[in-house]
């Protein structure tokens, strides 16, 4: 097994990776910006290297600085976490060229799945259903012509996109020009590429994703699905597993589709295939070739440490189980806690004056926040994840109510009050929601 791993990330995911390494007897190297010098993962790591100023482009996205830190500290491998460079195929290649293991899939697999049009073609070849769509759009007139063929409403998406960025909806021909220009501008700003394409816009879908693990010997297992339909502006807020919208036959069908596709391309490491689900049908959306923010709920129901498995697979180990060995138990829900105003969603960085994480049976908190910690204003506003597990969904909801009441974060505003309102709504309690439900109903919450 690796002796030393560099963690090329920050925040709760960096601490999550450190913990997995520690439990496996692996030393860790934390890289950090000047703004993160007092972060918890930096304080706990065996070694720490400052790689630049606060701005992410000068630190966490600085490939040369990270490779230099890895070389100086003599690490065996680099774990990219999620976000930042986790799905950058060029970075993965750089890591391997320096004789260091990249804890993730092969660079060519990252590259293929990072190109949404290539990913669509891959999905078709593997027999995965896809939403009707277009190839790359060349102009506004081209967009209008293809939209007329597909039928409104349509959504224009960044070819190199992800995370809900570079996506704009057009309900009619009059809205095409604005949607096309805005999607291109946002895509350019977010992904350094303004190429966009078009898909038919589904009206009321669920967002369902499948977690897979695959080793380098052709073994693939599915760890069930997650329902990520509670969203605001295409950003996930609450996730749960299993999805209350699927029956056992649909669940089995989705798992087999995902496994078959991964076997065909020889995928290696952890990965997530995302689908839209509407009127009993699945449509492939995209694939994330990395660890997901919401992976803890899958760990809760499967009993499998996904980060540990990433490390083992990258070191050449085989999966120690088959699909028949996977037994998913109970239900789990994750709430993403952001340092934001719960009504306006304006980020609220500042000093944490008091911190008390909830505990008890079936309650997990992933966070590197502590009393006295100053949240820097330069990065994503998520500061914690609350994960609750239990035998039944109703039991989990009761436990989640209690855990949110027990959660104390003073000094900054957080979205805890929003989560309390969401899980108290009758539609959420009954599992009757889609990706538009939150935005359509949030003004009526009491």
What is the predicted pLDDT for the residue at 163?
Answer: 66
- 329 and 248 both lie in a single domain: yes
- 195 and 233 both lie in a single domain: no
Over residues 198-223, the pLDDT tens digits come to: 999 998 999 999 999 999 999 999 99
- 300 and 399 both lie in a single domain: yes
State the Cα–Cα distance between residues 254 and 222, nearest whole angstrom: 10
What is the predicted pLDDT for the residue at 130?
Answer: 92
| CATH classification of the domain holding 332 | 3.30.470.20
What is the predicted pLDDT for the residue at 376?
Answer: 96
Does a structural domain hold residue 94? no
Q: How many structural domains are present in the chain?
A: 3
Over residues 53-62, the pLDDT tens digits come to: 999 999 999 9
Single out the residue in 175, 200, 225 at which a domain terminates: 200
> Does residue 290 carry a catalytic annotation?
yes
Over residues 223-255, the pLDDT tens digits come to: 999 999 999 988 999 999 999 999 999 999 999
What is the predicted pLDDT for the residue at 165?
Answer: 81
Residue 161 binned pLDDT confidence (cut-offs 50, 70, 90): confident
Which candidate, 285, 290, 371, 228, places its Cα nearest to that of 104? 290
Q: Tell the burial category of 145 from Cβ atoms under 10 Å away from its Cβ (0-12, 13-18, 19+).
A: middle
- 364 and 293 both lie in a single domain: yes
Mean pLDDT, all residues of the chain: 96
What is the predicted pLDDT for the residue at 116?
Answer: 85
What is the predicted pLDDT for the residue at 32?
Answer: 98
* Domain span holding position 12: 4-87
Q: Which of 290, 312, 336, 399 is catalytic?
A: 290
What is the predicted pLDDT for the residue at 166?
Answer: 87
What is the predicted pLDDT for the residue at 190?
Answer: 85
Give the mean pLDDT of 164-189. Answer: 92
- 281 and 385 both lie in a single domain: yes
Global confidence as pTM: 0.94
Over residues 126-140, the pLDDT tens digits come to: 889 999 999 999 999
- Cβ-contact 55, 378 below 8 angstroms: yes
What is the predicted pLDDT for the residue at 383?
Answer: 97
| CATH classification of the domain holding 60 | 3.40.50.20
- Whether residue 341 is predicted with pLDDT greater than 90 in this model: the reply is yes
Does a structural domain hold residue 103? no
- Whether residue 121 is predicted with pLDDT greater than 80 in this model: the reply is yes
Does a structural domain hold residue 300? yes
Does a structural domain hold residue 96? no
Look at 123-137, 231-245, 319-333, 337-351 and tell me which has the smallest mean pLDDT.
123-137
- Cβ neighbours of residue 267 closer than 8 Å, sequence gap 6 or more: 105, 109, 212, 214, 220
What is the predicted pLDDT for the residue at 357?
Answer: 98
Single out the residue in 200, 226, 242 at which a domain terminates: 200
- 298 and 384 both lie in a single domain: yes
Does a structural domain hold residue 374? yes
């Amino acid at each position: 097994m690796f002796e030393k791993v560099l963690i090329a990330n920050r925040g709760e995911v960096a601490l999550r990776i450190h913990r997995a390494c520690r439990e496996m007897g692996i030393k860790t190297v934390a890289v950090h910006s000047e703004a993160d010098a007092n972060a918890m993962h930096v304080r706990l790591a065996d070694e720490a290297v400052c790689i630049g100023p606060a701005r992410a482009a000068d630190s966490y996205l600085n490939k040369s600085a990270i490779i230099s830190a890895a070389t100086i500290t003599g690490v065996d491998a680099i774990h990219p976490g999620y976000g930042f460079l986790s799905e950058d195929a060029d970075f993965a290649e750089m890591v391997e060229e320096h004789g260091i293991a990249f804890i993730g899939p092969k660079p060519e697999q990252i590259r293929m799945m990072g190109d949404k049009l290539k990913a669509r073609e891959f999905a078709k070849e593997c027999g995965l259903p896809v939403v009707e769509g277009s190839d790359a759009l060349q102009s506004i007139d081209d967009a209008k012509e293809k939209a007329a063929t597909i039928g409104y409403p349509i959504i224009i998406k960044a070819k190199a996109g992800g995370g809900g960025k570079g996506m704009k909806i057009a309900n009619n021909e009059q809205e095409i020009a604005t949607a096309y220009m805005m999607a291109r501008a946002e895509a350019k700003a977010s992904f350094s590429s303004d190429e966009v394409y078009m898909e038919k816009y589904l009206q009321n879908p669920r967002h369902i994703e499948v977690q897979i693990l695959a080793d380098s010997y052709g073994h693939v297992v599915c760890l069930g699905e997650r329902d990520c339909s509670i969203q605001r502006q295409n950003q996930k807020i609450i996730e749960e597993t299993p999805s209350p919208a699927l029956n056992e036959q649909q669940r089995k069908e989705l798992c087999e589709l995902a496994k078959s596709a991964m076997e065909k391309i020889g995928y290696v490491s952890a990965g997530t295939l995302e689908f839209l689900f509407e009127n009993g049908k699945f449509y492939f959306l995209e694939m994330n070739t990395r660890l997901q923010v919401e992976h803890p709920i899958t760990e809760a129901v499967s009993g499998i440490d996904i980060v540990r498995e990433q490390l083992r697979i990258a070191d050449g180990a085989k999966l120690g189980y088959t699909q028949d060995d996977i037994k998913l138990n109970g239900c789990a829900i994750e709430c993403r806690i952001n340092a934001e105003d719960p009504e306006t969603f304006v980020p609220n960085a500042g000093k944490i004056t008091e911190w008390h994480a909830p505990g008890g049976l079936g309650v997990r908190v992933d966070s590197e926040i502590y009393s006295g910690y100053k949240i820097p204003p330069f990065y994503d506003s998520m500061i914690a994840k609350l994960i609750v597990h239990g035998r039944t969904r109703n039991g989990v909801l009761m436990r989640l109510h209690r855990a949110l009441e027990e959660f104390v974060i003073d000094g900054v505003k957080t979205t805890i009050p929003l989560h309390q309102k969401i899980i108290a709504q009758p539609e959420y309690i009954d599992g009757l929601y889609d990706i538009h439900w939150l935005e359509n109903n949030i003004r009526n919450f009491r």
